[in-house]
Structure 1
């Protein structure tokens, strides 16, 4: 009998609060979490706004030594993994550590710690030759992104397959897809899969300022992130993490676990075109969608909701609108589509896993989150983008997509576990 990968636990750290319920409340409220950056002085930057997480590591259950050792992104991931484990009801101590795997994604690793250490070692940038004696003992670990996944593995006691995926803004979606595959192929019985990024630092802001990708609407932060709106001016940076417990379906049922959904299909493609540019026809994303549907043995008519990448840049919104039409045909005009980046910002590599968590909760709660700040229709984006208000909606299967610098295009189908195509 073929093995199936299902989500049985969810942990989230996102703008609006720590924990999946705080996260869900933000989504259904349609409130944007964007504000002026407080983690550093943003004066002088083109974009001075972001969707920050109000995060107290001590209150979240971390110890003083863990806080000293871990970058903010690692702290997010470990807290999410703990929440997901508790939500799943698994007794981790009773499992063979070799059957436990971890698959974590991140686009920029330990950015905040590295920038802070460079500031110290270079004496505020005044010294070209840095003095390494001022570095913290954990500097090497901060330079190696795989320490993020090591911290999660240490927390949950995993001694099976442990890996880090870094594919830009599709990292979170790709890491969850990889985790599901480990379960399906039998390489692990349980996988903690997700992604984390805490990129809110001067170097990140400067990089996106340089290419004018982020919104300059500093005087109205709450309405700055507006995917698919005709007056959108770029995306809003965010931070956060999400980790899911993924296990084999038969085992989950045997122990009476609550199953949020089955990861039924996943595929990735690359456009081999441009580091940041996208072709208007959305061909590569459309192909990823078609392949993911094929792996799930489902048709476009079986999709009840689309979680869009929806970054809020003109080229991205038009690109994926075209991809939905090319891959789903008439169904693209019938199914609700929304972007949660309008509320929690774009946390780079982490957002894909945060969006998977949102999709699992949509299946569980039967409510579709809105696209906040969508007031002015763009004629080139003419689908049902669920403007401003959450919507009760019967959902048996969802499609989540991601698009990243470098040409990465990913698509995942998640359905109710009994979800044979209607």
Structure 2
């Protein structure tokens, strides 16, 4: 088949999140409007301005990995493996049964915003206290970001394209975009794409806190992530992973796979403005969304739902809202928008993949996830953000936005595939 005719569809989903350790649990918690934020348990955070985060709960890596491997791996890699395994199982794919040709045509593009932060922190302490001879021989290979896709390929014997994307909180969307282009080009038939991060550590919390990026609503953590609310005061750190199985359409049809949605467009841009603050008019966000619509061959009025980046920061939410108004005009007021970060917190490099799953399931199930914790209107944020309760709506086209420090902006377009 000519490569320009190759369509890319989503056939498998995997998620490990602060509100659910599987995709069904994640979806059920979103529909219930449940927050994953709570006081930090990973370490004593009492000396920090922010003492809470959205941690993964009831997770034992030894339920998924043998003990030796689980102890050796940084949590970011553990999370990636678990999400990828769920996505493969959901897609009905068992790599143990693949032919050599199928292994060569199956790849992994899994990114992370930061990578093995806990391992880096722990090994730095070992060095400071005991010197270089006590550093683990696994320190470097298990810390680097590309180990997430590397470990998944080793685990399943996958020989197709294999690498990591790194673009801060836009990482996962870049992975999905890259995977889509690889399949369209004919370099692969199937790719596991997504992102993972595990940065709720002493230095992670301290670094983000000293930037004044985090909410300090310590008396009410579950209400701290409140995108578009006038009282928002910063984002809530989260952790986890999301994985999508992307597959060439005819390949998926030939094996009778369940198809969730089609990836029909993507947009990428740079703010070229500031290392952490968004462009005040949302310039880069606007360019990414416009490019995504253009590559999808659809108009602004065709979009039913947009899962916003929506981090609950004063500048970010207002800038993204301005960008949406510039792209969609009056339709900005009639389509549904929401920020699922109000429930999960900000999963950094994993955010885009987890939020893409929310957008894809909105297409399949005709329900819009809510933006919870809204109380006080903000005149700058006056769109339909699906506040506090999910909403029933037919969704044929959904967009997912992800933006990152450094001015990286990505937008992916998903579309319903008719039976």
In which range does the TM-score fall when normalised by the shorter chain? over 0.9
Equivalent in the alignment of 2:79: 76
Q: Superposed, which structure 2 residues align to 1:86-125 within 5 Å?
A: 86-92=89-95, 93-95=97-99, 96=101, 97-123=103-129
Deviates more, 1:93-102 or 1:342-351: 93-102
Equivalent in the alignment of 2:258: 258
- Does structure 1 residue 30 correspond to structure 2 residue 33? yes
1:104 deviates by 0.7
CA distance in 2, matches of 1:370, 1:198: 25
Report if the CA contact (8 A) 1:100-1:157 is conserved: no
Report if the CA contact (8 A) 2:170-2:352 is conserved: yes
Report if the CA contact (8 A) 2:42-2:201 is conserved: yes
Report if the CA contact (8 A) 1:114-1:142 is conserved: no
CA distance in 1, matches of 2:186, 2:58: 36
Cα offsets for 1:254-287 (capped at 9, x unmatched): 2111101111101110011110122221122111
Equivalent in the alignment of 2:279: 279
- Runs of at least 5 residues in structure 1 that lack an aligned partner in the other structure: 124-129
Query: SS state of the match for residue 203, structure 1?
Result: helix
Report if the CA contact (8 A) 1:271-1:407 is conserved: yes
1:164 deviates by 0.4
Equivalent in the alignment of 2:203: 203
Q: Superposed, which structure 2 residues align to 1:344-355 within 5 Å?
A: 344-355=344-355
1:144 deviates by 2.1
1:44 deviates by 1.1
Q: CA RMSD in A?
A: 1.3
1:69 deviates by 2.3
CA distance in 2, matches of 1:316, 1:335: 20
Equivalent in the alignment of 1:364: 364
List, as ranges, runs of 4+ consecutive aligned residues in structure 1 with deviation greater than 6 Å: none
Equivalent in the alignment of 2:377: 377
- Does structure 1 residue 135 correspond to structure 2 residue 135? yes
1:55 deviates by 4.3
- Does structure 1 residue 17 correspond to structure 2 residue 20? yes
CA distance in 1, matches of 2:300, 2:191: 29
CA distance in 2, matches of 1:57, 1:184: 37
Equivalent in the alignment of 1:160: 160
CA distance in 2, matches of 1:207, 1:244: 30
Report if the CA contact (8 A) 1:269-1:285 is conserved: yes
TM-score by length of 2: 0.96
CA distance in 2, matches of 1:53, 1:143: 20
Cα offsets for 1:263-313 (capped at 9, x unmatched): 110111001111012222112211111111111101111100010000000
1:393 deviates by 0.9
Query: SS state of the match for residue 17, structure 1?
Result: coil
Cα offsets for 1:349-389 (capped at 9, x unmatched): 11111111111111121110000101111110000011111
Query: SS state of the match for residue 169, structure 2?
Result: helix
Equivalent in the alignment of 1:401: 401
Q: Against the structure 1 CA distance between its residues 63 and 194, is the aligned structure 2 distance closer, same or farther, given a 3 Å change threshold?
A: same
Query: SS state of the match for residue 225, structure 2?
Result: coil
Cα offsets for 1:160-196 (capped at 9, x unmatched): 1101001011001111111111111111011000000
Cα offsets for 1:65-123 (capped at 9, x unmatched): 22022110101110111111111012422242110111011010001111112122212
Report if the CA contact (8 A) 2:61-2:78 is conserved: no
CA distance in 2, matches of 1:102, 1:55: 27
Aligned with residue 49 of structure 2, among 18, 22, 46: 46
1:58 deviates by 4.4
CA distance in 1, matches of 2:386, 2:63: 33
User: Across the two proteins, how many residue pairs are aligned to each other?
Assistant: 413
Q: Superposed, which structure 2 residues align to 1:237-256 within 5 Å?
A: 237-256=237-256
Q: Superposed, which structure 2 residues align to 1:225-240 within 5 Å?
A: 225-240=225-240
Equivalent in the alignment of 2:69: 66
Report if the CA contact (8 A) 2:108-2:163 is conserved: yes
- Runs of at least 5 residues in structure 2 that lack an aligned partner in the other structure: none
